[in-house]
Chains A and B, each alone.
Chain A
Amino acid sequence: MSQITKTTYQLPIGPIHPALKEPVMFKFEIDGEKIIAVDVELGHVHRAIEWTGMRRNPIQIIYLAERICGICSFVHPMAYCRAVENACNIQVPERADYLRVVHGELERIASHLLWAGVAAHEIGFDTVLFLTWEMREKVLDLIEYLTGNRVTKAILMIGGVRRDIKPENIPKIKETLEYFKENYKKLSHVFLDDKTFKMRSQGCGILTYEDALRLCAVGPTTRASGVKKDVRVDQPYAAYSDLDVDYMTPDKRTGEINGDVYDRIIVRLLEVKQSIELIERAVDQMPTGDIMSEPKIPKLLNYIKKTAGEGIGRDEAPRGEVIHYIKFDGVNEQPFTWKVRASTYANILPWIPMLKGQQIADISIVAASTDPCMSCTNRVTIIDKNKKYMLDKEQLHKLSVEKTRRLMR
């Protein structure tokens, strides 16, 4: 007599997957449509960057740090430069501090818009994907205008920045900011008042306040759960201490905190608005002066080589806090230790409580809600006893789209 003894099945997702910026492998234990257990495997894009960094000189590492993540190509070198500045006691000129704010916030707008488009795509709302990505091109235009490249900017240097914003650049910045102010209303209307978005994101993928604290979540993920944690306010770096930044939590708009996907959308959109205002203020208040503490690179390298010390550098990336630890021994040019903690690193564990109890069709939007990147494609295998069904990205996406359609009826 054959009896069904097994009531749950395994569902691996990845490592080639659309909702994540790196190939990651999920293993789900599912009961019908419901997820009851989650396991995460990492390391598919482990390029041994820290190990490589311990064989290069401090200037070369800036460019290595820039390529840790193509989307956070400003915040990683920024955290690295700040770590070196703290370890070797290098003072950054005031103007450079303001320039760092401008570039950091431009990257935040680009990254949040990228995310918003992806989130829309995940629930089958491609019109909004194209709308937000068209707006994103405007930021990239400005970034290219100010730095010379769209994605990897190579703007930072230990003790300052490499390019100044000249008076003739200001009108273009203002013009772009005006465009964003106009379009922000449209964007927030599309995301926050739309019935479809509300249906798919409210009450979905909840991260409680307690879990956010205990699992050390960072960035918009933790702020959406009501934890007030933002390096720009807690321990302001660059010129943020002058610019009066505030925590963006979802209760600023709705008056309540649920910690669901909808709240994470609210937080990111509020931050886009905040970034626009910050850039405006930074450009207006920018003092004159040098942009680099030591323009002669060999002299700078020599100074770092002779200095022994350790330091940490932190900054608030679009996805959350980034922290770099560096140690110099005072003899070698290469750093003794270099440790990078990217923001996603801290947001892996919070996935587990978020995904538990959700449906398969919600996987992509929930996994995406901590900040994904549509960089990969995915493949899902449902292991049903001994049979294997392949569910590719399209089918998973289709499931998600079907759910939206079903809810709209």
Chain B
Amino acid sequence: MPEKKTKKKPAEKTVETPNKQLSPEEIVTYFKDKFTTKIKSAEIKKRATGSKKKEFVNIWMKIDKSIFKNFIEHLCNLTYPHLAVCSGNDLGNQIELVYSFSIYYGKHLQEISLNVGVEVPKSKPEIETICDWIPGALITEREKQEMLGIKIIGIPDSRRLFLPDDFPKNVYPWRKDEQTKKEIEKLYKNLHEGAKKK
């Protein structure tokens, strides 16, 4: 008996990007007007490739933790961003999270990479989830929880992602402090040295 396939129609295009598109400079001014001093720094980097030397734009911003959620809200209202990844740097007393967004994709050479850095103190590494705005952030947020020990407040799913279940708790491999180094040493294996002994 042939099985009947229910053909689902794709949902209506509700996530529309507004027609008005801001230039990189306008984006920086937009956020600077909104948050004034809470935007610690903003830099526009332009680089060119190919023989025609067409330029592409990267914006690097450092913002204060207190406005982070608000910032994401404003960004989503401006244009719905694509979150590529969230990277993390251990700066000693602070952990910096770098959220890489790409905005205004869909047209030739129009896309802008927006990298937003947020510093959280290592003594209280907490940041709010952005999964309510961008559900696709879940994977990268779970990874930051286990690799850098950032507590994501309100994360829908807080299980481990990459590390095995028997991996010791409270060891966060990407941290650079002495304690982590010691703990990692216990798990560390040099396969070349192991082979030499035999």
Contacts and interface: CB of A to CB of B under 8 A. Distances in A.
A97 B50 contact: yes
Contacts of A203: 5-8
B102 to A, nearest CB: 7
A59 B66 CA distance: 39
B49 A238 contact: yes
Given A241-B52, A312-B115, A406-B3, A51 B173 contact: yes
A233 to B, nearest CB: 5
Name, among B13, B88, B163, the residue most crowded by chain A CB atoms within 10 Å (CB to CB).
B13
Contacts of B44: none
A406 B109 CA distance: 48
B148 to A, nearest CB: 10
A119 B27 CA distance: 43
A352 to B, nearest CB: 10
Contacts of B50: 94, 97, 236, 238-242
Given A214-B136, A215-B136, A234-B111, 20 more contacts: A86-B58, A202-B7, A203-B7, A206-B10, A208-B11, A211-B11, A214-B15, A216-B136, A225-B10, A234-B109, A240-B50, A258-B10, A259-B10, A314-B84, A339-B87, A341-B140, A346-B139, A349-B138, A407-B2, A407-B3
Interface stretch (A148-156, A298-306, A319-327): A319-327
Given A202-B5, A234-B102, A235-B109, A216 B134 contact: yes
11 contacts: A43-B162, A202-B7, A210-B12, A211-B11, A214-B134, A214-B136, A239-B49, A259-B10, A314-B102, A325-B100, A403-B3
A346 B136 contact: yes
Contacts of A346: 84, 136, 139
B195 to A, nearest CB: 17
B164 A213 contact: no
Interface string B64-83: 00000000000000001011
For the complex of A and B, 8 pairs with smallest distance between CB atoms: A216-B136, A234-B111, A341-B85, A339-B87, A43-B162, A325-B87, A241-B54, A228-B106
B85 A325 contact: yes
A171 B11 CA distance: 49
B129 interface: no
A50 interface: yes
Contacts, number: 167
A97 B49 contact: yes
Interface of A: 42-43, 46, 48, 50-51, 86, 92, 94, 97, 202-204, 206, 208-211, 213-217, 225-229, 231, 233-242, 247, 257-259, 287, 310-312, 314, 321, 323, 325, 327, 336-337, 339, 341, 345-346, 348-349, 357, 359, 403, 406-407, 409
B161 A257 contact: no
A50 B2 contact: no
Contacts of A42: 161-162
Interface in B124-155: 134-140
B84 to A, nearest CB: 5
B163 A43 contact: yes
A242 B90 CA distance: 39
Contacts of B174: 50-51, 337
A216 B110 CA distance: 18
B49 A209 contact: no
A214 B135 contact: yes
A214 B54 CA distance: 30
A401 B15 CA distance: 38
Contacts of B8: 203, 206, 357
A242 B3 CA distance: 49
B113 A208 contact: no
B5 A204 contact: yes
A247 B111 CA distance: 14
Contacts of B106: 227-229, 234, 247
Nearest to A339: B87
Contacts of A46: 162-164
Interface in B95-134: 98, 100, 102, 105-113, 115, 134
B160 interface: yes
Given A43-B163, A234-B111, A92 B58 contact: no
Contact of A236 (B11, B54, B83): B54
A94 B107 CA distance: 24
B14 A321 contact: no
Contact of B51 (A239, A259, A409): A239
Nearest to B90: A337
Interface in B31-81: 45, 47, 49-52, 54, 56, 58, 60, 80
